[in-house]
Structure 1
């Protein structure tokens, strides 16, 4: 189509460039009767007059404000249309979208923080929730070691959505499990006993507060509980020998499900 002015009007190309809308949009508005050109060239090309351009300006403004094409048509063509009312309603919708975006921004910020540092708790909150023996540096150490794993991502997702009260519930569940573990060892429960197997399942359930734990992953954790100085000190501080006993309980449970603890890997 030639991009020239003819008979005092502007071509579609000229209007498209002037208003920053696509030629396709102009054609659509013409075909639906929203904004039709008043003139045509001898060859049948559309030409827009100054009045047409003014209407198009209004269409563009209202569209940028978020009004649908039917609402725009009513605003432009209905003498009884409540234009301020329509704009107020649109403004209310914009305010709702802004609030949703603010919430999204806050959620993204929490997710970023959780990926970078784990629990979204201050050092004081961590001590209150996890006890005075808790080291606030442990989550950062874990991130440096596991930050590129799927499990850390799952842990971060749970952390981002968890309040201090919910973290307290997690800590209470862990403490309750560890008490049951020590009581079972004191009672002479042997690896492979039904009570021991129930504790293995309970451990996996409690651990889902951090990320899903497969049986093979549980075996790998059992090894760490016994061999890692920090974990071993924690469990043996509850009951001497608890770390080694807990590992044997986990290994027995794995064997009952056809898993060789000696060859189990983190999967």
Structure 2
């Protein structure tokens, strides 16, 4: 390798700063023979000539386009290389990545929207799916009340992937469970019986459409269904006394699993 003779020749550090690549990358390209400096100083330090810099510039451009180092070497050194063909193939891969990133971006937008709004349905869709008595403001109120909880985050993640049809299926599952609870109470199903325990498990499964529900959390819900005027009115509208009966079957099931309903907490 000849010694430097031109003050315009650049050191590794200068090339690194000019091209925006790391010194480590330049050393690596030198070691694998992709871009070796043509000159050395008297002290043995690498120096890059104008021709070296031009080759490095092309390497940086091709690398930014996504070509691997072996492909870049072929493009630069093989006179028979099909450069347009290589670039077209790379363009196809880039287009696929762009499409995928656009999908991810749309998914992120829905996730953000779900965290902030809860339901990603218009007021008209909510009325059609959830019924005329549904108040669109309830979702915002729930966000304000529970938005900082892990359960709201889990609910939002599920909501982000749901449209009207998916929510319709959830609503139908809840309605079917409500009917089954009312029928069971009418039939005299007693707390702690196998039939009652199956309904308790079914409630946990249906509720998982919103977020995972532990047995202790279910006990807390049972208390709320009985004590909260809105929830109590809903269940007692299905069958008089259903809210209290539901709490009893939940408490009995909890005791069978070693949980004291009187001390259960939201966890």
Shift in Å, 1:199? 0.8
Scaled by the length of structure 2, the TM-score of the pair is: 0.94
The within-5 A match list for 1:28-39 is: 28-39=28-39
Q: Does residue 40 of structure 1 match 2:40?
A: yes
Correspondence for 2:94: 94
Correspondence for 1:20: 20
Aligned partners of 2:4 and 2:39 also within 8 Å: no
Number of matched pairs: 263
Correspondence for 1:143: 143
Shift in Å, 1:131? 1.4
Shift in Å, 1:18? 2.2
How far apart are the structure 2 equivalents of 1:202 and 1:132? 26
Shift in Å, 1:74? 0.3
Shift in Å, 1:245? 1.4
How far apart are the structure 2 equivalents of 1:12 and 1:206? 64
Correspondence for 2:218: 218
Correspondence for 2:256: 256
Correspondence for 1:124: 124
Task: Please give the root-mean-square deviation of Cα atoms over the aligned residues, in Å.
Answer: 1.4
Aligned residue among 5, 8, 15 for 1:7: 5
SS of residue matched to 1:70:
helix
Encode CA deviations 1:34-70: one digit per residue, 9 max, x unaligned. 1112222222222222211111111111111111111
Aligned partners of 2:4 and 2:42 also within 8 Å: no
Correspondence for 1:152: 152
Shift in Å, 1:194? 1.9
How far apart are the structure 1 equivalents of 2:63 and 2:258? 64
Correspondence for 2:202: 202
Residues 261, 220 of structure 1: alpha-carbon distance in 2 compared, 3 angstrom cutoff: same
Correspondence for 2:85: 85
Correspondence for 1:60: 60
Aligned partners of 2:115 and 2:153 also within 8 Å: yes
Encode CA deviations 1:201-238: one digit per residue, 9 max, x unaligned. 11111111111111111111011111101101111111
Structure 2: stretches of 5+ with no match in the other structure = none
Scaled by the length of structure 1, the TM-score of the pair is: 0.94
How far apart are the structure 1 equivalents of 2:20 and 2:189? 78
How far apart are the structure 2 equivalents of 1:150 and 1:112? 15
How far apart are the structure 1 equivalents of 2:57 and 2:139? 56
Correspondence for 1:109: 109
Correspondence for 1:133: 133
How far apart are the structure 2 equivalents of 1:177 and 1:142? 23
Encode CA deviations 1:104-158: one digit per residue, 9 max, x unaligned. 1111111111111112111111111111111111121111111111111111111
Structure 1: stretches of 5+ with no match in the other structure = none
SS of residue matched to 2:10:
coil
Residues 17, 242 of structure 1: alpha-carbon distance in 2 compared, 3 angstrom cutoff: same
Residues 259, 22 of structure 1: alpha-carbon distance in 2 compared, 3 angstrom cutoff: closer
